[in-house]
């Protein structure tokens, strides 16, 4: 059995969560894929996959193996492509997903500059606070904010942001400054929420642990732009991410509150699948975008 081929079969199963789908995409029979995986697990002396009646899930060892295998396969195939002269100039359509506010403020202008640098490229931008499935929805690269769940995706770290508590000077002059998270019960709250239900904000306690505080918003919206505007207008205290209110804090329209209780920072990263050779269009975009986004002041330690 070709060892590189075995890694590619394993990654196909990891990406699609299905032996049958991996077999179809690799042009093999399901039985042949099963034999390849069994041989690979026997060689490694570790179980890489857990097979259920509906899906194949990576074990902890399988997740580590997938991360290493992607690098090996990508390095090999890219080296072969470069030697064979197949590394063509970037062209085609690049599909990019990002959270709504970050996408509008930072990805859209970045994509415009990328198109100026690569005239043969096209981009499709999908801005939404919903987490998209890159493989199922045909997205090449997505920007994610927050810790990632275990998956077969590769991540490129760009920086960090923090959830902050803010209010306008006019509101604070009227209602006073909160001193502890418990004081929020006496204040008007402007909250972001996609759906109705119990809302909680997290804070760091003096014991170093993260504590959850239940809030009762007077204003609630599913668009952070609306929440921030309401806070600027003096409607109450809001809890956006630091990058979302950087300008309003700098201008004095909003004031940062309870800094001693702020939760830990959250990573900002690009994620993308790389089961095979990274397409030139994706490599070109990452080489263009990563240094520019990493240099943004709003993604530095807030």
- The pLDDT of residue 67 is above 80: yes
Q: Say if residue 60 is in the same domain as residue 203.
A: no
Tell me which DSSP letter residue 241 carries.
B
Q: What is the mean pLDDT of the chain?
A: 88
Q: Say if residue 110 is in the same domain as residue 226.
A: no
pLDDT in tens, 153-174: 889 999 999 999 999 999 999 9
Higher pLDDT, 87 or 79: 79
Residues 6 or more apart whose Cβ sits within 8 Å of residue 229: none
Would you state the structure tokens that stand for residue 44, as one six-digit string?
A: 């490694």
pLDDT at 197 (0 to 100): 65
Q: Say if residue 282 is in the same domain as residue 152.
A: yes
pTM: 0.69
Q: Say if residue 228 is in the same domain as residue 272.
A: no
**Which residues constitute the domain of residue 273?**
92-159+266-299
Q: Say if residue 170 is in the same domain as residue 155.
A: no
Q: Say if residue 120 is in the same domain as residue 244.
A: no
Find, among 163, 165, 153, the residue nearest to 269 by Cα.
153
What does each C-alpha distance from 169 to 165, 217, 221, 231 come to in angstroms? 13, 19, 22, 10
Q: Say if residue 199 is in the same domain as residue 231.
A: yes
Count: domains in the chain: 3
CATH code for position 139: 3.40.190.10
pLDDT above 90 covers what percent of the chain?
48
pLDDT in tens, 12-44: 888 888 888 888 888 888 888 888 889 888 888
């Amino acid at each position: 059995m070709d060892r590189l081929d075995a890694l590619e079969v394993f990654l196909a199963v990891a990406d699609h969560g299905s032996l049958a789908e991996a077999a179809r995409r690799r042009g093999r029979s399901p039985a042949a894929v099963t034999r390849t995986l069994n041989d690979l697990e026997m060689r490694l002396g570790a179980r890489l996959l857990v097979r259920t009646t509906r899906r194949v899930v990576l074990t902890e060892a399988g997740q580590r193996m997938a991360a290493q295998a992607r690098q090996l396969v990508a390095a090999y195939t890219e080296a072969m492509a470069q030697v064979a002269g197949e590394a063509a100039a970037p062209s085609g359509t690049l599909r990019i997903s990002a959270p709504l506010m970050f996408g509008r403020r930072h990805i859209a202008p970045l994509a415009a500059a990328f198109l100026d640098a690569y005239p043969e490229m096209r981009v499709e931008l999908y801005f939404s606070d919903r987490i998209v499935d890159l493989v199922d929805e045909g997205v090449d690269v997505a920007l994610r904010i927050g810790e990632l769940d275990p998956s077969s995706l590769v991540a490129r770290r760009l920086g960090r942001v923090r959830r902050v508590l803010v209010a306008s000077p006019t509101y604070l002059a009227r209602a006073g400054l909160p001193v502890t998270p418990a004081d929020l019960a006496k204040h008007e709250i402007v909250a972001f929420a996609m759906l109705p239900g119990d809302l909680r904000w997290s804070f760091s306690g003096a014991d170093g642990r993260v504590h959850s505080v239940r809030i009762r918003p007077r204003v609630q919206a599913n668009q952070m732009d609306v929440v921030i505007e309401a806070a600027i207008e003096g409607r109450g205290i809001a809890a956006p991410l630091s990058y979302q209110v950087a300008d309003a804090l700098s201008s004095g329209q909003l004031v940062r509150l309870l800094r001693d209780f702020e939760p830990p920072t959250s990573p900002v990263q690009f994620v993308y699948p790389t089961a095979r050779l990274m397409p030139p269009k994706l490599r070109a975009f990452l080489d263009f975008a990563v240094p520019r986004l990493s240099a943004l002041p709003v993604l530095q330690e807030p």
